[in-house]
Structure 1
Amino acid sequence: MANYLEAFSLADKVSIVTGGGRGIGLGIAKALAGAGSDLVLVARTRSQLTEAADFITKEYGTKVEIISADLSRPDSPAEVVESVMNRFGRIDVLINNAGSNIRKPFLEVTPEDFETVMQIQLRSAYFMAQAVAKEMAKVKRGKIINLASLTCKMAVPNISIYGAAKGGIFALTKSFALELAPFNINVNAVAPGYVRTYMTEAAFENKKSCEWMLSRIPLGRFGTPEDIGNTALFLASSASDYLTGEVIFVDGGWMSA
């Protein structure tokens, strides 16, 4: 009799998680480690990476390497991938989670604001995927999971740059999936709804705003990093081998309401 849980195992796999030091990235890292994957956590703040790595190693016993890097730098994606290949000799999973946001009314956004968000949200995801896919294509296997958002399909005031970047993530997920399918590389995205993290804290500061958000969520609660991690684990595992080019909304039913 088949053991279907084996399809979710990531034993002997190596996964890169950008923005892996806290929030949703850390939630995803925990899920992958819990399934047996060794990890490379990438972010700018070394202290957060060290704390996350220590916790994961103690809790799950997997190997965890950290790379402090500014992925908005054009050379960073290739440097990160080279470092991982030198250390592990393989990359099985990429989680493109690094992000930033600037909350401003559209009429006040500057070109500098636009570049700041786009460089980390969209450009880094594009070129991290490219650098990783070049290695995956050599062995004809791999999983690339991008982090999109509700805002790739709906408008939210004062985060127009973020919404535009996440719309780009939606589109490039489809394009990458098409071009990388001949190499047996699956490309999908997770689009979280309202998850309380350091980056969304401003949205939760107003009680009336929170009540309105909850009223729109059929399941009646906000998401957690663990909710997103569980979905990412499915997409990273062989359980999703026949799934590519999809954007999965993990939003408590918001987009269906």
Structure 2
Amino acid sequence: MWLPSFSLEDKLAAITGATKGIGYAIAMAYAEAGADIIVIARTKDDVHQVVKEIEQLGRKAYPVVADVKDYQSIIDQIEALIPQEKSINILVNNAGMNIRSTALEVTEAEWETIVQTNMRSAFFLSQYAAKAMKDNQSGKIINISSVAGEVALRTGVVYGMTKSAIQQMTKNVALEWGPYNIHVNAIGPWYFPTSLTEELLKDESYVNDILRRTPMNRLGDVKELAGAAVFLASEASNYITGQTLFIDGGMTIYGF
């Protein structure tokens, strides 16, 4: 049989920022592909709503209410929730944020908030998941980066730095954990309508500038990220590690 398996049947996936935008799309796609989901986000009502939706698809879902900056709380809740015989097979480090300050204006407090949310949490949650994956000699870690990790944008220097760091972390841990059959890859989106971009996309001139830089001449739909996320979590990607897949309508190939 030449067609590889895209099934996530009976896998356990932990997804940060799983109640909105990209994280929500990935959570629902994974559930449809057969995975049980650890739903991680800050807002209790949102977490329990997504848990309910996943359970309606016939999969198990586990609520974890925490800010990713407090990654130890996430780990403690997972340890308390998950049956002893189960462990995380797939981790998606999706949660992220931005404060749009220029390099001349960014404060130390803004720096710390962006770095801890986008980078520090992703590393230590990956470290936690990889310990179990090493024991099982199997695992998939998917980091949500951004085109801002590859090219210079007006998104702010600290945000771009964290996304570049995510891509470099992806390469380094893929190298270190490859012998344990742990695959580590990243996805780099361009503009998708999410809570992070909602206000920006109300500006017609800003949207037109985005479209000018996008060969496909449109914004993305979060559902268009779901297939790539399932692919990278499934057996179909078993010989791929350390890569960043840009889902950007061709933006990163465009010569400005």
Identity %: 38
Which letter maps to 1:201? Answer: E
What does residue 30 of structure 2 align with?
A: 32
TM-superposed CA distance for 1:82, in Å, is 2.2
Structure 2 length as normaliser, TM-score? 0.94
Deviation at 1:48, TM superposition (A): 1.1
With normalisation by structure 1, the TM-score equals: 0.94
Looking at structure 2, the residues matched to 44 and 127 of structure 1 have their Cα atoms a distance apart, in angstroms, of 18
Separation of aligned partners in 1, 2:41 and 2:73: 11
Counterpart CA distance in 2 for 1:4 and 1:184 is: 21
Q: Which amino acid aligns with 1:4?
A: L
Larger helix proportion, structure 1 or 2?
1
**Per-residue CA shift, 1:26-67, capped at 9, x if unaligned?**
011111111010100111111111122222322x22111110
Could you tell me which runs of 5 or more consecutive residues in structure 1 were left unpaired when the two chains were aligned: none
Q: Secondary structure at the match of 2:51?
A: helix
Gaps of 5+ in 2: none
The one-letter amino acid of 2:46's match is Q
Separation in structure 1 between the aligned mates of residue 177 and residue 143 of structure 2, nearest angstrom: 14
Equivalent position SS for 1:108: coil
The CA deviation string for residues 136-157 of structure 1, in whole angstroms up to 9 with x for no partner, is: 0001000000000000011222
How far does residue 4 in structure 1 lie from its aligned partner after superposition? 2.2
- CA separation of 1:155 and 1:26: change in aligned 2, threshold 3 A: same
Distance 1:185 1:192 in 2: 23
Q: Deviations over 1:204-244 (max 9, x none)?
A: 12101101111221122211211111111000000000000
Counterpart of 1:102 in 2: which secondary structure?
Answer: coil
Q: Which amino acid aligns with 2:231?
A: F
Alignment of 1:96-107 (within 5 A): 96-107=93-104
* Residue 10 (structure 1) aligned with residue 11 (structure 2): no
- 1:144 correspondence with 2:131: no
Over the aligned positions, Cα root-mean-square deviation in angstroms equals 1.5
Alignment partner for residue 46 of structure 1, among 44, 54, 59? 44
Count how many residue pairs are aligned between Structure 1 and Structure 2: 254
